[in-house]
Amino acid sequence: MIGKAATSLLFCTGVILLATCSVAAQQKSSCIECHLKLPGELGDPARSIKNDIHLSRGLSCNDCHGGDPTKDDKNAAKDRTKGYLGRPQTVDIPAFCGKCHNDASFMKKFNPALRVDQEKEYATSVHGRLLKTGNTKVATCISCHGVHGIRAVSDALSSVYPSNVAETCSKCHSDAARMAEFKIPTDQYAKYKSSVHAKALYEKQDLSAPTCNDCHGNHGAAPPGITSVANVCGQCHARQAELFQASVHKAAFDNKGLAECITCHSNHAISAPTDQLLGTGQTAVCVSCHKQGEKGFAVAGELRGMIDDLLARIDKSHQILDRAERAGMEVSRPKFELREAIDGVTHARVLIHSSSTAEVDKVVAPAVGITGKTYQAGIDALAELNVRRKGLVVSLFFILFLAVLVYLKIRQIERRQPA
Amino acid sequence: MTVDTLKSWLDERLSISSLGYAAQKKEVPLHRQSIWYYFGGMTLFLFVVQVVTGILLLLYYRPSSENAFESVQFIMTEVKFGWLIRSIHSWSANLMILTLFIHMFSVYFMRAYDRPREVTWVSGVVLLLLCICFGFSGYLLPWNEVSFFATKVGTEIAGVVPVVGKTMLRFLRGGDEVTGATLTRFFGFHVAVLPAMATVFITVHVLLVQLHGMHVPARYQQTHRRMKFFPNFFLRDLIGWLVAIGVLAALAAIFPWELGVKADPFVPAPAGIKPEWYFLFMFQTLKYIPAKILMFDGEVIGIMVFMLAAAVLFVIPFINRSPEQHPRRRLIFNVLGGIALLFMAVMTVIGYFA
Amino acid sequence: MSNITAGNTTGTRPDRTVELTSRRRFLDYLLGTSALATLAAIVYPIIRFMAPPHVVEAIQNSVVAAKLSELPPNSAKIFKFGSKPGLLIRTASGELKAFSAVCTHLECIVQYRPDTKQIWCACHNGQYNLNGENIGGPPPRPLAEYPVNKRGDDVVVNRA
């Protein structure tokens, strides 16, 4: 018994010692030891590396920069003839990271699910193409991912965690001075922050809400082509995109060089759409192209009219049913049925992307039918109330008749009685 | 087996013949003010209506904050004639308080509380307070928005009374706020505590009335005629009660008592919240009192004044004795009574339209 | 010589008495019958009031959603639960499941798709699996699930 306990204790101690040794062996890094003693820029890498995902996977300075971490002598450790690479040039950074990250069989050892084409994608991006021309002002791997304290994308503190991406991009893209030579606007971040997507991501903490990279791509970052915006938005807004692409607007937009989806909904400052966006009113987007007299103008007006009409009918039904309910009538079934009509409104608001009154009518017509039924149910309930009143009149008649009879009885009795 | 055999059987066991004898002897004085004699019986009749409809409602009502509103809605919509029973209960409550006030004021002005009827008067004032409590507790039971806030305001005012106010408030509310605990407690008061007390005091009150007979105002002492209670006055009472039934049924059908929306403790009070009409005159008066009188809180002063008035009500028979020797006192009391009546009426009207 | 005395207008005393008696009896008869009628008019609503109504309880804590015989495997039915819609599914393996049919996105009524064997919302292509969990599209939360019991051929869904 004691023998067994002693053996297991010995075993455990041995394992711990071994682990510590291996860690110590792993941690023998003259790079870090020396650079930790240095101030400022020279010492920062050593200080921030402790959070780095590469370090936690057993990789160290030499795995990227080359050199010999076992040597304490600076020249021996940083011998260029022995493979020391030093600090890479900005234009070389993608290839520097790509040394490992392009190698499928190498990456497999760490995360089999990771993609290995980031460098290739990057080359197609605006950043990559400009970098090739020698412009070092553009973003490279380290601009977004950090350089020595790189965290995994799934780490909430990572600069490329979904809720941090927009801020990371805006570090350059909101800097007017920096972006001046590229001649693109710098208000995207501000606009995005006001959007309904940002609200979902930051306030509702919905990590599936889109941020910069979801529409623009992360490594192959580029604005989507005008004719393919619907595909991008359609990743989530599938139904609307599908309807749009089957509608007359697709060809019209592509021909006119109008960006799909964005023309009506904006690209960065996307706000929650309301019925006001549709139709021929001042706030409607339809009238920015369609003028009075055109078919499009008429259709826009019709679509808005259909929805407004349905909403008005639903409201009417609601009011009469509420009235009946407050008066004490049982109307839970018509109220239940009214929900289907409300469904119709939600559905119609999606179907307007087909720009076809026939399509929208397919859901609006049955909904209108339902509101007709529910309104009638409300009328019936109030009529039943009236029946009660009539029933009352009858019973009142009997009661008063009885009262009169009692009065006559009194008269009769007192006529016989002496005063 | 004849009626006579039955009568003598009952008489041997229950002594009913003496009761019958007394009933035959009972007389009602007839004079110009006899019409006011109907109002006591009318109030009692409406109280019986309340008991009957109340018991019926008890078969379906659930006194918890989750279920109360739904159960009343259930009564109104699913139970056969539930709408009728519930509306009658609500309307009859109001009608009863109205007839109660008429009864009280008529007794006051006719000085029917004079010796030997002082205890009858005191028991009557107790009944008045009990009925007010009935109204206040019953009003909360549907647990709708209006009743929730009316109860909140009402208990808040009770809490303002110095010294005992806080304790009273916690006792009434079953806690610091109006919650489901308040509802359950008010239900207990409404269907058990108050009915028990009312039964006792009604018995005392009615027995005393039988004992002393009807009071006749001084000026008719010599000139009034008499009418037998059974069957003459009673049949007249019956006509009144039949008309009351008719009125209640009409009110239930034409002005059904609304259910409103379910109470939500976290929603702010709707604008223009006011209590039932019989509290309105006090509510409106409190609104007119300035926030501060000398160094005291205006509201507290107002409430103390009302409480003082209620206390005075109890002792009226003892401070207004032998008016024949003090004719000026009689005039003062009449004038004061008139002013009180006018004040209550005017404040109620203002409160209603404000 | 007139025989007119107070109250006497015509005929002899016995006739008048007979007339008065019959009138009195008529009045009594009317009084009796209408009193009875009024009493019935009061008692009838009270009796009806006391009889249990069709829907027995105020808050619907459970409802018979469907009959087992009318629900083949891999099919579903929308039923009324209080004032809200519910979805009763009989899966392909015969299991019974019930959910709130109100989509957690924008409150459209969801449906069961026998082809994908998932719950689907037609409004914005929201998808839920057979545990009610939101697995695709915009819905942010799962559908509330209700316990289901069988009572003979009746399928009973409870609130909690």
- Cβ contact (<8 Å) for B242 and A400? yes
Question: Is B303 within a domain?
Answer: no
Question: Is B159 within a domain?
Answer: yes
- Cβ contact (<8 Å) for B235 and A403? no
Question: Is B346 within a domain?
Answer: no
* Alpha-carbon span B63 to B208, nearest angstrom: 36
Average pLDDT over residues A142-157: 90
H helices of B79-179, where? Answer: 82-110, 118-140, 145-159, 165-173
Chains in contact with C via at least 3 Cβ–Cβ pairs below 8 Å: A, B
Set of chain C residues whose Cβ sits within 8 Å of the Cβ of B70: 58-59
Chain A interface disruption, residue of C9, C25, C34, most A CBs within 10 A: C34
Residue of A nearest to C138 (CA): A236
Set of chain C residues whose Cβ sits within 8 Å of the Cβ of A346: 106-108, 123
pLDDT score for B315 = 92
**How many domains, chain B?**
1
pLDDT score for C4 = 41
Sheet holding C96-100, edge to edge: C75-81, C84-90, C96-100, C145-146
Average pLDDT over residues A355-369: 92
* Average pLDDT across chain B, whole number: 90
- pLDDT of residue C20 exceeding 80, the answer is no
Question: Is B345 within a domain?
Answer: no
- pLDDT of residue B110 exceeding 80, the answer is yes
Average pLDDT over residues A227-240: 83
Set of chain B residues whose Cβ sits within 8 Å of the Cβ of C51: 80
Using CB atoms, pick whichever of B67, B81, B84 lies closest to residue C59: B67
Q: Higher-confidence residue: A18 or A234?
A: A234
pLDDT score for C3 = 41
* Alpha-carbon span B155 to B173, nearest angstrom: 7
Backbone angles phi, psi at C146, to 5 degrees: -115, 145
Average pLDDT over residues A220-238: 81
Residue of A nearest to C141 (CA): A206
CB atoms inside a 10 Å sphere around CB A7: 10
Contacts of B143 (CB under 8 A, 6+ apart): B65, B68, B69, B72, B183, B262, B263
Residue A57 CA to its chain's centroid (Å): 32
pLDDT score for B190 = 97
Set of chain B residues whose Cβ sits within 8 Å of the Cβ of C58: 60, 62, 67, 70-71, 73-74, 78
Residue of A nearest to B259 (CA): A326
CB contact A399 to B (< 8 Å): yes
Set of chain B residues whose Cβ sits within 8 Å of the Cβ of C46: 52, 56, 81, 85
Strand partners, A369: none
pLDDT score for B240 = 95
- Cβ contact (<8 Å) for B80 and C42? no
- Cβ contact (<8 Å) for C38 and B242? yes
Question: Is B255 within a domain?
Answer: yes
Q: Which domain holds residue B208?
A: 33-216+223-264+272-279
CB contact C78 to A (< 8 Å): no
- pLDDT of residue B24 exceeding 50, the answer is yes
Average pLDDT over residues A52-59: 90
Q: Higher-confidence residue: B22 or C146?
A: C146
Using CB atoms, pick whichever of A327, A330, A403 lies closest to residue B243: A403
Average pLDDT over residues C61-87: 87
pLDDT digits (tens, 9 = 90+) for A288-300: 889 989 899 999 9
* Alpha-carbon span C143 to B320, nearest angstrom: 74
pLDDT score for B252 = 87
Question: Is B316 within a domain?
Answer: no
Set of chain B residues whose Cβ sits within 8 Å of the Cβ of A413: 231-232, 235
pTM as predicted:
0.69
Residue B209 CA to its chain's centroid (Å): 18
Chains in contact with A via at least 3 Cβ–Cβ pairs below 8 Å: B, C
| For chain B, percent of residues with pLDDT exceeding 90 | 55
pLDDT score for A69 = 85
- pLDDT of residue B133 exceeding 90, the answer is yes
Block residue for tokens 């079953």 = B174
Chain A interface disruption, residue of B75, B77, B80, B237, most A CBs within 10 A: B77
* Average pLDDT across chain C, whole number: 84
What is the CATH classification number for the domain harbouring B105? 1.20.810.10
Three-state secondary structure call for residue B321: coil
Q: Across B224-264, where does the E strand assignment appear?
A: 225-228
pLDDT score for C6 = 46
- Cβ contact (<8 Å) for B76 and A389? no
- Cβ contact (<8 Å) for A326 and B259? yes
- Cβ contact (<8 Å) for A402 and C41? no
- Cβ contact (<8 Å) for A399 and B77? no
Min Cα separation A368/chain B (Å)? 27
Min Cα separation A328/chain B (Å)? 5
Give the residue numbers in C contacting B (CB under 8 Å), as ranges: 38, 42, 45-46, 48-51, 53-55, 57-59
pLDDT score for B299 = 85
Question: Is B83 within a domain?
Answer: yes
Q: Across B10-119, where does the E strand assignment appear?
A: 27-30
| For chain B, percent of residues with pLDDT exceeding 70 | 98
* Average pLDDT across chain A, whole number: 87
pLDDT digits (tens, 9 = 90+) for B85-109: 999 999 999 999 999 999 999 999 9
pLDDT digits (tens, 9 = 90+) for A69-127: 888 888 888 888 888 888 899 999 999 999 999 999 999 999 888 899 999 999 999 99
CB contact A330 to B (< 8 Å): yes
CB contact C41 to A (< 8 Å): yes
Block residue for tokens 């009594």 = C28
User: What pLDDT band is residue A28 in, cutting at 50, 70 and 90?
Assistant: confident
- Cβ contact (<8 Å) for B250 and A392? yes
pLDDT score for B261 = 83
Average pLDDT over residues B198-207: 97
- pLDDT of residue C52 exceeding 60, the answer is yes
Set of chain C residues whose Cβ sits within 8 Å of the Cβ of A347: 108, 122-123
Rg (CA), chain A: 37
Least confident of A15-19, A182-186, A383-387, B26-30: A15-19
* Alpha-carbon span A70 to A64, nearest angstrom: 15
pLDDT digits (tens, 9 = 90+) for A156-184: 899 999 989 999 999 999 999 999 998 88
Using CB atoms, pick whichever of B231, B239, B249 lies closest to residue A392: B249
H helices of B255-326, where? Answer: 277-288, 298-319
Residue type, A419: A
CB contact A409 to B (< 8 Å): yes
Q: What is the 3-state secondary structure (H, E, C) of chain A?
A: CHHHHHHHHHHHHHHHHHHHHHHHHHHCCHHHHHHHCCCHHHHHHHHHHHHCHHHHCCCCHHHHHCCCCCCCCHHHHCCHHHCCCCCCCHHHHHHHHHHHHCCHHHHCCCCCCCCCCHHHHHHHCHHHHHHHCCCCCCCCHHHHHCCCCCCCCCCCCCCCCHHHHHHHHHHHHCCHHHHHHHCCCCCHHHHHHCCHHHHHHHHCCCCCCCCHHHHHCCCCCCCCCHHHHHHHHCCCCHHHHHHHHHCHHHHHHHHHCCCCCHHHHCCCCCCCCCHHHCCCCCCCCHHHCCCCCCHHHHHHHHHHHHHHHHHHHHHHHHHHHHHHHHCCCCCHHHHHHHHHHHHHHHHHHHHHHHCCHHHHHHHHHHHHHHHHHHHHHHHHHHHHHHHHHHHHHHHHHHHHHHHHHHHHHHHHHHHHCCC
Average pLDDT over residues B318-323: 76
- Cβ contact (<8 Å) for A403 and B242? yes
* B·C CB contacts under 8 A: 41
Min Cα separation C38/chain A (Å)? 6
pLDDT score for C96 = 93
Chain A interface disruption, residue of C19, C39, C48, C108, most A CBs within 10 A: C108
- Cβ contact (<8 Å) for B258 and A326? yes
How distant, in Å, are the alpha carbons of A8, A15, A20, A416 from that of A11?
A: 5, 6, 14, 123
User: What pLDDT band is residue C7 in, cutting at 50, 70 and 90?
Assistant: very low
Query: In chain B, what are the helix, strand and coil shares in percent, each to the nearest 5?
Result: 70, 5, 25
Q: Identify the DSSP state of B231.
A: I
Q: Identify the DSSP state of B37.
A: G
Which of C90, A170, B288, A400 is CA-nearest to residue A408?
A400
- Cβ contact (<8 Å) for B83 and A410? no
Set of chain C residues whose Cβ sits within 8 Å of the Cβ of A335: 83
Set of chain C residues whose Cβ sits within 8 Å of the Cβ of A236: 137-138
- Cβ contact (<8 Å) for B250 and A400? no
Set of chain A residues whose Cβ sits within 8 Å of the Cβ of B262: none
Question: Is B179 within a domain?
Answer: yes
